[in-house]
Amino acid sequence: MKLFQRSLRATMGRSKLAGASLFMLGLLAVLLVTGSAGAAASAVPLGTAGSFSVLAGAGITNTGPTTVSGDIGTFPTTTITGLESLTVHGTNHAGDAVTQQAKNDLVTAYNDAAGQGPTSPIAADLGGQTLTAGVYTSASTIGLTGALTLNAAGDPNAVFVFQAGSALTTASGSSVNLINGAQACNVFWQVGSSATLGTGSSFRGTILALTSITVTTGATVDGRVLARNGAVTLDTNTITTSSCVTAPPPATTTATTTAVTTAPTTTVVTTAPTTTAPAPKPKPPVVKKIAKPATTKKAPAVVKPAPKPAVHAFGFTG
């Protein structure tokens, strides 16, 4: 009996070990799937805010000659300072209904960017790094000193989303470089407080800041500066909002019919030579003799002798 109990306990122990192993394998598979899913960032829906190069909540201030390719607007504070040195190739919507709708869409876009994941952590300054498409997050600030390279790996639809718990700060002369098909329209920076772009820096992507955005002297932006609640401050800048280049549709494999031209086959029919026999000489026409009607020969008349006169008993004839 004791032997049976020991055997049962050993069997149960092995079952628990096997169950634990299966559990660990399953957990590892889930983690692997989740990790690979982290690379799948999606383009942030900007709505009507997409036509704005500069959008603010507490006014726009500009110093020096600044050129903006898209629309500008600010609401609820509608003040724009330094407008005389601001070249706007879009429309100055100030605080009109279009700006107000764009501000509503900006809130939606900000929340979308902040909610994307799973994420890859940003552990250090972004300078000197090369990143592929995905969602990258920092619980505090994001800093950029030097150059950050974003590699789309040949996919023009590759999306890069950066989430900063507080500030985004780029150093003077820093840059964001795009390679292998990466596009500025697919790069998004969600900032939990304010963003500051350093002097003479070259920045790419759309900034969605909860508070304010400062673009210092000579900095250029290929993207948008969109501030939900604070002001946007400009100083001799060029802000270009590039449109996305649509990726060509995937190549479809279609069956090709190859016409095979075959040389016409000549069928040689060999016929035995025909010997033409000389035409037979015409036979003279057969002249049929017309048979003469049969002559009926009359049998010669038989002259019967006259009967002898009867002689009577009395001696006379007749």
Q: Calculate the average pLDDT of the chain.
A: 80
pLDDT at 284: 55
Give which of 203, 159, 157 is closest to 38, Cα–Cα. 159
In a domain, 212, yes or no: yes
Give which of 248, 173, 265, 168 is closest to 208, Cα–Cα. 168
pLDDT at 9: 54
> Rounded to whole angstroms, how far apart are CA atoms 93 and 272?
100
pLDDT at 133: 97
Q: What is the pLDDT of residues 51-100, one digit of tens each?
A: 999 999 999 999 999 999 999 999 999 999 999 999 999 999 999 999 99
In a domain, 84, yes or no: yes
Range of the domain at 216: 52-240
Most confident among 145-149, 244-248, 268-272, 295-299 (mean pLDDT)? 145-149
pLDDT-based confidence at residue 283 (cuts at 50, 70, 90):
low
Check pLDDT > 60 for residue 32: no
In a domain, 149, yes or no: yes
End-to-end C-alpha distance for the chain, whole angstroms: 180
Average pLDDT rounded to a whole number, residues 208-233: 98
* Counted domains in the chain: 1
143, 68 contact by CB (below 8 A): no
pTM of the predicted model over 0.85: no
Q: What is the pLDDT of residues 150-159, one digit of tens each?
A: 999 999 999 9
Average pLDDT rounded to a whole number, residues 219-239: 98
DSSP label at 212? -
Residue type (1 letter), 77: T
> Rounded to whole angstroms, how far apart are CA atoms 51 and 42?
19
